[in-house]
Amino acid sequence: MCLVWNQSVKPSVVSLCYHFTAYGGFMKKLFEKHETLFCMLLITVYIVVNSVCVQNFGFTGSVSFLVNTLLSLGLIGLVLLLKKSAYYGFVKVRNLKQYLYFVPLALMVTVNLWGGIDTDHSAEEILFHILTMLNIGFIEELIFRGFLFKMMAKSNLKSAMIVSAVTFGIGHIVNLLNGAELLPTLMQICYATATGYLFVLLFHKSKSLIPCIITHCLVNALSIFSVENMVSVYIAPVFLTVLPLAYAVYIHKQIKQ
């Protein structure tokens, strides 16, 4: 049997690679020139897409998982295209001790289990919920702490931190449109803003977004096991507001750049 190279394939492959590289270069220049517009567009697309997913498919189905996986891959592709993985926080934390080994973050992860463990879900629902929430945690950290914060920090660091935290918190108001009750949503906005401030401060000080991504993903993923009672509805939100703010104060005072 003789293997023969098809000469007609080579030009096609070369042409495809050329056009892909040219398109990548174009997108990179477009992002760098209109960074603010891109950030606003990313936030809008993310909120709209996930609102549609929640209203039509929920977070325990395959559709939401697939959609958010595509969003995650798209963001990863953008970071790689820009060649700014370290710039957007994909690096290790150098000194864990000065961050108290992130014990406060570990405590935050456990909050969804304080009121008990809900096992009234099928294995498929649990699987897709966890996978979807892992994607969502990653996407939100990269958009709000990565792109948005880094873009604004170029002109004003303090404003960038505040806007990143508040935008992340206020963004949860869309849950009202998805059927959530008013009081729990307002409390969620409060602790999401506090957590958002802690995460952006952690990112700024450590240069790493990884601890924020891991914490966010795990908190989201474990939410399917949360039991709705006095602890989960009132005590947990207060804890998730107070602890992040206290930890942020510690980091601000103790850790110098």
Rounded Cα distance, 124 and 131, in Å: 11
For 60-97, write each residue's pLDDT tens digit: 989 999 999 999 999 999 999 999 999 999 999 999 99
Q: What is the pTM of this model?
A: 0.87
Q: From the CB of residue 156, how many other CB atoms can be counted at a distance below 10 Å?
A: 11
For 107-143, write each residue's pLDDT tens digit: 999 999 999 999 899 999 999 999 999 999 999 999 9
- Whether residue 17 is contained in a domain is answered as no
- Whether residue 8 is contained in a domain is answered as no
- Whether residue 23 is contained in a domain is answered as no
- Whether residue 76 is contained in a domain is answered as yes
Residue 207 sits at φ, ψ, to 5 deg, of 70, 5
pLDDT, greater one: 8 or 40: 40
| Concatenated DSSP letters of 18-63 | HHHHHHHHHHHHHHHHSHHHHHHHHHHHHHHHHHHHHHHT-SSSHH
- Whether residue 29 is contained in a domain is answered as no
Name which of 234, 236, 153, 137 is nearest 201 in CA terms.
Answer: 153
- Whether residue 19 is contained in a domain is answered as no
Q: Cα 227 from chain centroid?
A: 24
Domain count, the chain: 1
- Whether residue 6 is contained in a domain is answered as no
Mean pLDDT value across the chain: 88
Residue numbers of the domain that contains 207: 35-254
Structural tokens at position 53? 């997913």
Rounded Cα distance, 66 and 50, in Å: 11
* pLDDT exceeds cutoff 50 at 20: no
Structural tokens at position 193? 């803003």
Angle between the 103-110 and 236-254 helix axes, to the nearest 10 degrees?
A: 170
Question: Per-residue pLDDT averaged across 214-237, rounded?
Answer: 94
- Whether residue 24 is contained in a domain is answered as no
Residue type at 27 in one-letter notation: M
